[in-house]
Amino acid sequence: MQKLAIIDYGMGNLHSVSKAVQTVAPEQEVIVTSCPDTIYQADRVIFPGVGAIRDCMSEIHRLNIGEIVANFVKEKPVLGICVGMQALMNFSEENGGVDCLGLVDGRVKYFGDQHVDQDGTRLKVPHMGWNIVHQQVPHPLWKDVPQDTRFYFVHSYHIHCDNANKVAATANYGITFDAALFDNNLFAVQFHPEKSQHAGLQLLKNFTQWNGKF
Amino acid sequence: MGLAKRVIPCLDVDQGRVMKGVQFVDIRDAGDPVEIAKRYDQQGADEITFLDITASHEDRDTMVHVVEDIASQVFIPLTVGGGIRQLSDIRKMLNAGADKVGINTAAVFNPEFVGEAAARFGSQCIVVAIDAKKVSSENEQARWEIFTHGGRKPTGIDAVEWAVKMVGLGAGELLLTSMDRDGTKDGFDLALTRAVSDAVAVPVIASGGVGNLEHLADGVIEGHADAVLAASIFHFGQHTMGEAKKRMEERGIEVRW
C-alpha cells in the first residue's frame, strides 16, 4: 500500500487536505504527522501551511521540517500548498521580512495596501476566492485539468520565482503572479486544491499517482 | 478576467437541522445540512456558510459533527458562525473541517478576541460578522449602528467605524448583515454595503434581504460587495446557483462556472 504523509507542524487545519486525498486515493494510506521517520517512509509528501510566515517558519525550524523536506524531495514527490509553497522560497516580505527555506529561488511579495487592477479599480487584499489558473507547462499534475480552470485562493502575499522555467502556472490579480511551481520532484501551488472542488481533487489525484517525472 | 465574485448560500442550523428564520422569529425547517450542502456544491456554490443559531444555549457538539460530515464530502470553503466565543471554539471548528469562523457577539463584547484569534489562526480564517441597523432619519446623513441579540439590542457603535476597527485587529473578511432587511426580500441595504466595503481593504460579504436575482447583482454592482450571501431564495427552490450566476454574468459580473 502506498503511503502519503501530510506534514503537520501545527499550522492550520489539515482535516480538509487529508479528507480530500483520502477521497481521490482510497487505496493509499494517508498519514498526518510531524514524525521524521514516518515522513521518510512515505511515498509522497504534502507540505501544507496557513497563517503568518514567521510563525510557520519558526515551527518548521523547531521541528526540523526544512531539512526533512529538502532530503525527501531529492528522492520522492512533494506537493507544497499555500504557505507551504511560500516557505520553499528564499525570502518573504511578510512580518517585516522572514528568511525561508530557499529550496526554490525567488521571493514572496505583498500585494500592497493600495492594490488596483489594470483599469484602476481597487482590489481587496487578501486575494480571496476563485481565480483563473493559467497553465504554463503540460505537467503531469495538470492531467485532466482544463486550461484556465478556476481554483480557490486565500492569500495576501504572492510568489515571484527567479527562474521562469520553473513556473507551472500563473494567475492574475492586478499583477500576474506565480500560482504554481515545479522543480524535479517538487510541485507547489498557491491556491488550495483541497477547497477547489473537481479541479482541485483532480490535481490531488494526479499527485497521488505522480512518479516525480516531467 | 480575474477573481470571480462569490455566491454563498447560508444555512441556519438549529440542532443539526437547517432552518431559515424570517427576521429571526418565524422559523421553517428546510432539511438536512449535509444533503443541502452537497446539493449546493453540485449546483456550483462558491462557498457555504453555516450559522449555528442555537449555539449560545444548546450543545455545540452537534454542529461540530455536522461540519465534520460536510467537510468529508464537500470540497469547497466552509464558514461556520454562531456561538464562537473562545479560541477553543475556533480550534474545534477548524479541526472539524471549517475553513473560516464567523465571530459576532464575542467581538462586540471583547474586540481583542478578534486580534487574538487572528494572531493564533491567521486572518484568512477570521470572518467578523457585523449586524447593522440604520439609526439615522430620512433627512440626516446615513448612519448605521451595530446591534446584538438578533437585532434587538443597540450598542451605540458606528458600523463603518467598527468595520475598520475589526480589520485593523485582524479580520480577514467581513460578513455584513442589514438587520433592517434580513428576512424582508427587499434586497440588500446597498448604501450600508457600499459604505463598509469602500472603507476596508478586505473582502465584504453582503447579507440580509435577498428576494430575487437582481438583488444579488445589485449587491456587487451598487454595494461593491465581493461576495453575496442568501438563504431562502435558494433553500425553497425559488432559484438555483446557476440561475443566480447566469443573471449576475448577464449584468457584467465575473462569476465562476
Predicted TM-score (pTM) above 0.90: yes
**Predicted confidence (pLDDT) at residue B27 exceeds the cutoff of 50:** no
Contact between B132 and B166 under an 8 Å Cβ cutoff? The reply is no
pLDDT at A51: 83
Searching chain A, which residue's CA lies closest to the CA of residue B93? A13
pLDDT at B211: 96
Active-site residue identified among A82, A127, A158, A161: A82
Measured CA distances, B170 to B19, B144, B174 (Å): 31, 22, 11
pLDDT at B20: 54
Contacts with A52 from chain B: Cβ below 8 Å: 119, 122
- For residues A107-124, give the mean pLDDT: 90
Angle between helices B241-250 and B213-221 (to 10 degrees): 50
A128 with B76: Cβ contact below 8 A: no
Contact between A90 and A102 under an 8 Å Cβ cutoff? The reply is yes
The answer to whether B115 faces chain A, any CB pair under 8 Å, is no
pLDDT at B28: 47
pLDDT at B55: 52
pLDDT at B25: 33
Tell me the CB-side half-sphere exposure of residue A67, using CA atoms within 13 A: 7
In the residue annotation, A82 being an active-site residue is answered as yes
Highest mean pLDDT among A60-69, B31-40, B55-64: A60-69
pLDDT at A213: 94
- Mean residue pLDDT across chain A: 95
**Predicted confidence (pLDDT) at residue A12 exceeds the cutoff of 90:** no
A201 with B203: Cβ contact below 8 A: no
The answer to whether B242 faces chain A, any CB pair under 8 Å, is no
More confident residue, B169 or A118: B169
Contacts with A49 from chain B: Cβ below 8 Å: none
Q: H/E element holding B30?
A: strand B26-31
For residue B127, which of A196, A10, A126 has the smallest C-alpha distance? A126
Searching chain A, which residue's CA lies closest to the CA of residue B43? A197
The answer to whether A205 faces chain B, any CB pair under 8 Å, is no
For residue B63, which of B12, B106, B104 has the smallest C-alpha distance? B12
State pLDDT tens for residues B147-168.
988 788 899 999 999 999 999 9
Q: Residue A58 burial (CB < 10 Å; 0-12/13-18/19+)?
A: middle
Query: How far apart (Å, rounded) are the C-alpha atoms in residues B136 and B110?
Result: 26
- For residues A106-114, give the mean pLDDT: 92
**Predicted confidence (pLDDT) at residue B22 exceeds the cutoff of 70:** no
More confident residue, A199 or A95: A199
Searching chain A, which residue's CA lies closest to the CA of residue B38? A197
For the ranges A7-16, A82-91, B69-78, B136-145, which has the lowest average pLDDT? Answer: A7-16
B76 with A155: Cβ contact below 8 A: no
Q: Which long-range contacts (CB under 8 A, 24 or more apart) does A94-101 make?
A: A94/A52, A94/A53, A94/A54, A94/A156, A94/A157, A95/A52, A95/A53, A95/A54, A98/A53, A98/A54, A98/A57, A99/A57, A100/A53, A100/A57, A101/A60, A101/A66, A101/A69, A101/A70
pLDDT at B29: 46
Round the CA-based radius of gyration of chain B to a whole number and report it: 17
Count, residues in chain B: 257
The torsion angles phi and psi of A165, rounded to 5 degrees, stand at: -75, -5
Contact between B99 and A16 under an 8 Å Cβ cutoff? The reply is yes
A15 with B95: Cβ contact below 8 A: yes
Contacts with B48 from chain A: Cβ below 8 Å: none
Of A19, A128, A130, the CB nearest to B203: A128
State pLDDT tens for residues A141-165.
999 999 999 999 999 999 999 999 9
DSSP B127-186: EEEEEEEE-S-TTSPP-EEEEETTTTEEEEEEHHHHHHHHHHHT-SEEEEEETTTTTT-S
> Percentage of chain B with pLDDT > 70?
94
A15 with B121: Cβ contact below 8 A: no
Contact between A75 and A42 under an 8 Å Cβ cutoff? The reply is no
State pLDDT tens for residues A39-50.
999 999 999 988
- Mean residue pLDDT across chain B: 90
pLDDT at B8: 98
State pLDDT tens for residues B123-132.
999 999 999 9
Query: How far apart (Å, rounded) are the C-alpha atoms in residues A192 and A207?
Result: 14
More confident residue, B231 or A193: A193
Exposed e or buried b per residue across B105-132, where buried means at least 16 C-beta atoms within 10 angstroms of its C-beta:
bbbbeebebbbbbbbbbbbbbbbbbbbb
**Predicted confidence (pLDDT) at residue B105 exceeds the cutoff of 50:** yes
Query: How far apart (Å, rounded) are the C-alpha atoms in residues B16 and A31?
Result: 30
- The Cα of A73 is separated from the nearest Cα of chain B by a number of Å equal to 27
- For residues A174-197, give the mean pLDDT: 97
- The residues that bridge with A173 in the sheet, in sequence order, are A175
Contacts with B124 from chain A: Cβ below 8 Å: 50-51, 126, 128, 154-155
**Predicted confidence (pLDDT) at residue B57 exceeds the cutoff of 60:** no
pLDDT at B26: 38
pLDDT-based confidence at residue B34 (cuts at 50, 70, 90): confident
Spatial neighbors of B83 by CB under 8 A, at least 6 apart, are B52, B55, B56, B60, B63, B89
**Residue linked to cell 439590542:** B153
Task: Report the relative pairing of strands A44-47 and A78-81 from DSSP bridges.
Answer: parallel
For residue B77, which of A154, A106, A176 has the smallest C-alpha distance? A154
ipTM of the prediction: 0.93
Biggest CA–CA distance in chain A, Å, is: 53
pLDDT at B56: 55
pLDDT at B32: 81
- DSSP character at residue A122: B
The answer to whether B99 faces chain A, any CB pair under 8 Å, is yes
pLDDT at B58: 55
> Percentage of chain A with pLDDT > 90?
89
